Amino acid sequence: MGATSSRTPSLRGVVRFVEGPTDAELAWLYGNCEFTVHPALYEGWGLPVSESLDFDKVCLTSNGSSLEEAGEGLTELLDPFDREQWNIRIQHSWDDPNLRTARELDIKRRHARITSNHTAQVLLDLARSLTDPRAVAQDR
């Protein structure tokens, strides 16, 4: 346990803090969790939310910065300062496995997964369009 757990002794034995996990550890954590909670005040790219959805996990997240867009309408958005609502929604997510299963199926069906191969192809197509005189002429 790291410094974070020392600031929250009441969570010892209840919440496991994993600082700096490897890719394999991160995949295991997402793959084996019940749902994810991301109460961030700011998140530039929304990566934890996208990762959660990539593993078809229900995600409770803050309603700020890029998180709403990253959630694709598939996450539960909460005010990061509303502790009572977070408590209620976390408890509800924990207590209702049928709801989690239904939401996981919805995520599996609707989430737009973007793979590294897809990203590479988009970048390659962009680079080709920049170096192909015909592509430049078509844009004029």
The pTM of the full predicted model, rounded to 2 decimals, is 0.75
Residues with Cβ within 8 Å of 113's Cβ and at least 6 positions away in sequence, in order, are 54
- Residue 88 CB-half CA count within 13 A: 8
Q: At what angle are helices 83-95 and 97-110 packed, to 10 degrees?
A: 90
Helices then strands, each counted (H, E), the chain? 8, 3
> Residue-wise pLDDT tens for the chain (140 aa)?
445 556 778 777 777 778 899 999 999 999 999 999 999 988 778 889 999 999 999 999 999 888 999 999 999 999 999 999 999 999 999 999 999 999 999 999 999 888 888 888 888 888 888 887 675 455 54
